[in-house]
């Protein structure tokens, strides 16, 4: 399965006092220098570990729009059950547990911005997320098929680059030949 455990610069309401909403957002730079050496995947931040970075069943990637995750859940009975619930659409959001290294507060906007995270502990499929724009979905392909598809994309990109290099080289040679003929 895969999804976004974090979406950058997307405020969420943490709480409300006297009709004033207090919000939080995660900066796109928040994961710079964040310790993500051993992150686990579970359900609602509790229970049995279903995937983790240390054994390569959980992959994390900081992308432009947020923290993308891909997890293989076939290693535990709980993971296989959760996969079926995600596939069925019963669970479709994520959350994450972390500690903060640096944040700022804008009193006019009532907005906390988490600028840097110290450590990421877990990413979880959840019933009720703090950030509603997170997502999780069941992949129809296995992790091996996904890795093979990634390799096919890398090969196609390499072939395209090689073709462009050959065309550029041919243009340079043609230009050089034309310049030599003009000199004559």
Q: Given a cut of 70, is residue 115 above it in pLDDT?
A: yes
pLDDT tens readout for residues 118-132: 999 999 999 999 999
Instruction: Evaluate if residue 141 carries a pLDDT over 60.
Output: no
Tokens 């700022």 correspond to 104
How many whole angstroms separate alpha carbon 63 and alpha carbon 133? 15
- Percent of the chain topping pLDDT 90: 74
- From the number of C-beta atoms within 10 Å of its C-beta (0-12, 13-18, 19+), residue 173 rates as exposed
Q: 113 - beta bridge partners?
A: 25, 104
The yes-or-no verdict on residue 173 having pLDDT over 90 is: no
Confidence of residue 145 (pLDDT cuts 50, 70, 90): low
Q: Kindly report the number of other CB atoms within 10 A of residue 176's CB atom.
A: 10
pLDDT of residue 76: 93
pTM (2 decimals)? Answer: 0.73
CA distances (Å), 163 to each of 140, 156, 168, 171, in order? 33, 10, 9, 12
């Amino acid at each position: 399965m895969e999804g976004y455990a974090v979406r950058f610069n997307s405020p969420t309401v943490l709480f409300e006092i006297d009709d004033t909403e207090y919000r939080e957002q995660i900066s796109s730079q928040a994961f710079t220098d964040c310790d993500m050496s051993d992150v686990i995947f579970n359900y609602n931040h509790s229970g049995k570990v279903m995937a983790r970075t240390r054994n390569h069943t959980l992959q994390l990637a900081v992308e432009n729009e947020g923290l993308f995750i891909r997890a293989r859940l076939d290693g535990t009975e709980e993971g296989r059950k959760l996969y079926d619930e995600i596939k069925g659409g019963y669970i479709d959001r994520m959350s994450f547990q972390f500690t903060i290294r640096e944040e700022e507060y804008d009193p006019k906007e009532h907005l906390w911005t988490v600028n840097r995270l110290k450590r990421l502990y877990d990413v979880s499929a959840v019933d009720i997320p703090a950030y509603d724009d997170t997502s999780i979905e069941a992949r129809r392909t296995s992790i091996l098929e996904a890795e093979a598809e990634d390799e096919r994309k890398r090969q196609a990109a390499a072939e395209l680059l090689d073709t462009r290099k050959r065309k550029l080289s041919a243009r340079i040679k043609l230009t050089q030949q034309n310049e030599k003929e003009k000199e004559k």
